[in-house]
Amino acid sequence: MQFFKSRQAVHDFVQSHKKKDKTVGFVPTMGALHEGHIQLIKKSKLQNHITVVSIFVNPTQFNNQADYHKYPNHIKNDTEKLEQVGCDVLFHPDVEEMYPVPDHRKFDFGELEQMMEGAYRPGHFNGVAQIVSKLIEAVPAQKAYFGQKDFQQLAIVRKLVGDYNYPVEIIGCPTVRESDGLAMSSRNERLTSAQRQNAPVIYQSLLQAKKMYPEKNINEIKKYVVENINKIPEFNVEYFEIVDHYTLRPIHSPQSDKYVTACIAVYVQDVRLIDNINFF
């Protein structure tokens, strides 16, 4: 596996292979790799000659700096996992490499950034756009792979690529779950054993909401989900929304003619977990 710290070096490597008519897949991550990341890498390897993985914890997308400093850092273990799965390139820059000067760019994603994650994490998606734009310029792959667990982020990335005409195809990949249904996340390792034992209630509540959707009104469904999760000590729903799959606008009554997705964010004490499920 090749290892690069420099944007220019990884850019030159990718371009050299593209000139040989090789396809390159890119999987941007923040490290603390789990099976969800591994599935993204495996999909890239199936579809491309070369797969590049980046590990970079981006400071500009954390509106809570304490969360940034607590983010897991397992570069040795991550490197071993990448070698085991057959990753071709690891791009692991430091903050000074990605932000040699402060990035003051402001992006406008309209409604997409004004709800759910955008409403509760001001500045988050601007930071996401800053780093994704930098990464896909440094790693000019033909395809980039993102998990659908970060449902709203995936929509933002697709709009970013469309608005700025980046020549990369964004591939969304299904959420990978633990055997008990909990969506895999680097944050899961910060849960206590008791919290981890209770955490599947999030996905179970989403599944029940899906069953209720054709019969119950939206307010009843939302009330059920919030109460079912909040009754567990240390669990607190930040938001639960049922939205149009494409526009992310809230759905106010069950509709059979639209693709619908339910999105949730839950604080487990100071650990923030997100998940989503497609109703249709």
User: Which residues belong to the active site?
Assistant: 37
| Residue listed under structure tokens 């008791």 | 194
For residue 86, with 0-12 CB atoms within 10 Å meaning exposed, 13-18 middle and 19 or more buried, which class applies?
exposed
DSSP string for 118-143? HHHSTTHHHHHHHHHHHHHHHS--SE
At 83, is the secondary structure helix, strand, or coil? helix
In 3D space, the residue among 11, 91, 86 whose CA is nearest the CA of residue 55 turns out to be: 91
What is the distance between the terminal CA atoms of the chain, rounded to a whole angstrom?
41
Nearest to 9 by CA among 87, 72, 113, 91: 91
d(CA 48, CA 280): 30
Q: Which amino acid is at 224?
A: Y
Q: CB under 8 Å to 131, separation ≥6 — which residues?
A: 28, 56, 58, 60, 61, 98
Confirm if 33 and 41 have CB atoms less than 8 A apart. Answer: no
- List the one residue out of 259, 260, 256, 228 whose CA is nearest residue 241: 260
